[in-house]
Structure 1
Amino acid sequence: MINTHNTYNPPLIEIHYTIHSSLETMDENRYSQKIVGNIVHVDADGNEMEVIGQIAARKLLLAEARKVEWQGGSIFWADDASGEIGSWIFDVEQEIWTSPLTDYYSHNLSGDAVLILSHIEIIPAYRGKEIGKLAIKDLYNNFIQGAALFVLKCAPVENENTTRTASKPPTLMKYHGREQGYSKAFIKLHAYFKSIGFETIPLFDDEIMVMNPQVLKGSFNAIRLD
């Protein structure tokens, strides 16, 4: 159950996760798990009242893939979004993290998996209540185990042309009423993720934002789940 310490009386929120994985051993999707969490407003008895958003992620099990001789690069490219992120953080020829990443963290990277935040969306009536930050922290707590990195591509949903897997249609999400200029939308979203604790890496594209579980920022630790 997600709650907050804010002065207002927050809604009672749960996240109902599903994990999609293939049972075929020689299949990239066996090692690129799709995680989808419906963010749900519940009543005091835990009964579902309304789906108010969605958070989605990929967890790439690189060590498990290597055991059956799958290369890490192929696991990243199980979908295009993960593949683009992988091109920045993972050296597919040497099967190691890229040098800008290891240099930035002074080789302080522990784990052989990657957790990628694919998207998070909250319907308009529930925005501005810290639910997005809480959902990201909840996703991290539940799925970061064994992962060296928590990564995302900072791309405003309202400017994306890719297929969405959100819980509500774009019209209900009211993206048409939000800032449509990519530059302004990007700056706002980038600042939001930075305030949570994600950071950019020198020599990386600014869209790629990273969190290292070994060196969490105070802003992320300050997000409280009760």
Structure 2
Amino acid sequence: MIISYGDIWLFNVSQRFLIFTYPANGDVSYSFKEEMKRGSHIGNIAKDLNLDSSKLSSRNARVDAAGYRKRYCDINLSTGDLIVADMIDREELCGEKLSCVIKRDLVLENPLELHPFSLHIQDINDNSPQFNEELINIEIRESTGRGARFVIEEAHDADVGQNSVQHYSLKKNDNFVLAVDGNTIELVLDKELDREKQEDINLLLTALDGGSPQRSGTVVIHVTVEENFSNYFSCLCPWC
């Protein structure tokens, strides 16, 4: 038989009642940065749950991972502190999700109590923006008019929010400028090309995140200026 009284559940097992209690105002939650070292302090869960820390050991207090492979945190039975048990890699755990939450339970015996709590893992800027290629090759005909646009594949960053890619920068050059609209990155021809002066142009594109310290990634864009068909046929047939 199961009896519910608000946030308290009573289970009748072999004529004995096992009491599971839940915080009346919702789960206790803690927010901390990813990749904290083992043993790092998260918070005093005994104090937050109004538990007697001197009885934690006798009541066999422990963190229950509810079937998950890792607990990620433990309780110090002497102080009631919640500490990091396994270093957390936010990107490995939650990918590109903006919110990364781990739910665990604090279990005590005599009587049996179950206290759910949440761990909110904050992103740190531990990844740099990366382009899929180290070198991008573009072929552009010499006769291409000013204003022509060429789409460049965006950079990617495993971090989220402000720590992800925030803006791009193109190293100053004579022919091209950069246009960015959301995730669309375009190389814009600002000055017409002259193959006789320069057949190959190397441009440096940089992607920057918004973290502190700021991280960046670069890619070289190699532009090959192709000869116009009219010039090509003039060379083959100068009397035409």
Compute the TM-score of the two structures, normalised by the length of structure 1. Answer: 0.20
Greater Rg, structure 1 or structure 2?
2
**Structure with larger RCO (C-alpha < 8 A, sep 6+):** 1
Greater fraction strand: 2
Q: Which has the higher helix share?
A: 1
